[in-house]
A and B are shown apart, each in its own frame.
Chain A
Amino acid sequence: MKKLLQTLRELWRDPMGRISLIGILLIILMAIFAPQLSHFKPDKMVGMPKASLSAQFWFGTDNYGRDIFSRIVYGARVSLQVGLIAVGIGATAGYVLGLIAGYFEGWVDRVIMCLMDILFAFPSILLAILISTVLGRGLVPTMVAIGIVNIPVFARTVRASVISAKGLEYVENARSVGVKTWPILIRHISPNVVAPFTVQATLALSSAILTEASMSFLGLGIQPPASSWGSMLNEARTFMEQAPWMAIFPALFIIITILLFNIMGDSLRDVLDPKLKL
Chain B
Amino acid sequence: MKNYILRRILQVVPVLIGISILIFAVMKMIPGDVISGILGVEATPELRAQLAAKYGLDRPYLVQYLDWIGGVLHGDFGESIRTSAPILPEILSRFKVTAELTILAAFISWIIAIPLGVLAAVKRNTLADRFVRVFALLGVSVPNFALSILLILVLSLAFSYFPPLGYVGFLEDPLRNLQIMILPAAILGVTISGSVMRMTRSSVLEVLRQDFIKTVRAKGASERVAIFRHALRNALIPIITLIGMQIGSLLGGAVIVEQIFSLPGLGQMTLTGINQRDYPVVQGCVLFIAFIYVLVNLLTDLLYAYIDPRISYD
Contact = CB atoms under 8 A, between A and B. Distances in A.
A and B: bona fide binding partners = yes
Interface of A: 114-115, 117-119, 121-126, 129-131, 133-134, 136, 206, 210, 213-214, 217-220, 230, 233, 236-237, 240-241, 244, 247-248, 251, 254-255, 258-259, 262-263, 266, 278
Interface of B: 14-15, 18-19, 22-23, 26, 29-31, 137-138, 140-143, 145-146, 149-150, 152-153, 156-157, 201-202, 205-206, 248-249, 251-253, 255-256, 259-260, 270-271, 274-275, 282, 286, 289-290, 293-294, 297
A220 B30 CA distance: 14
A240 B255 CA distance: 22
A210 B145 CA distance: 10
A217 B15 CA distance: 30
A248 B146 CA distance: 9
A87 B168 CA distance: 41
Contact of B26 (A125, A133, A213, A247): A133
Nearest to B149: A247
Contacts of B18: 114-115, 117-118
Most buried by A among B18, B146, B150, B255: B146
A69 B35 CA distance: 44
A125 B149 CA distance: 19
Given A218-B259, A247-B150, A278-B201, A117 B142 contact: no
Contact of B23 (A130, A230, A237, A258): A130
A214 B23 contact: no
Nearest to B141: A259
A258 to B, nearest CB: 5
A270 B294 CA distance: 32
A218 B201 CA distance: 34
B142 A255 contact: yes
Interface of B is mostly: helix
Contacts of A241: 156-157
Nearest to B251: A123
B157 A122 contact: no
Interface of A is mostly: helix
B268 to A, nearest CB: 11
A200 to B, nearest CB: 15
Contacts of A259: 137-138, 141-142
Given A126-B270, A136-B31, A262-B137, A117 B146 contact: no
B202 A278 contact: yes
A262 B141 contact: yes
A214 B138 contact: no
Nearest to A122: B290
Contacts of A263: 137
Contact of A123 (B145, B206, B293): B293
Contact of B152 (A119, A123, A134, A240): A240
B255 A118 contact: no
A130 B157 CA distance: 36
Contacts of A130: 23, 26, 282, 286
Contacts of B141: 206, 255, 258-259, 262
Given A123-B248, A134-B31, A255-B141, 19 more contacts: A123-B289, A124-B248, A126-B255, A126-B289, A126-B290, A129-B274, A133-B274, A134-B30, A210-B143, A218-B255, A218-B256, A230-B145, A236-B149, A237-B149, A240-B149, A247-B150, A247-B153, A248-B153, A259-B142
Given A125-B252, A236-B149, A134 B143 contact: no
A122 B255 contact: no
Given A217-B256, A220-B274, A241-B157, A121 B26 contact: no
B146 A255 contact: yes
Contact of A114 (B15, B23, B153): B15
15 contacts: A114-B15, A117-B18, A122-B286, A123-B252, A124-B252, A129-B255, A129-B274, A133-B26, A213-B146, A214-B256, A218-B271, A230-B145, A247-B149, A259-B137, A278-B206
A210 B156 CA distance: 26
A114 B15 CA distance: 7
Contacts of A119: 22
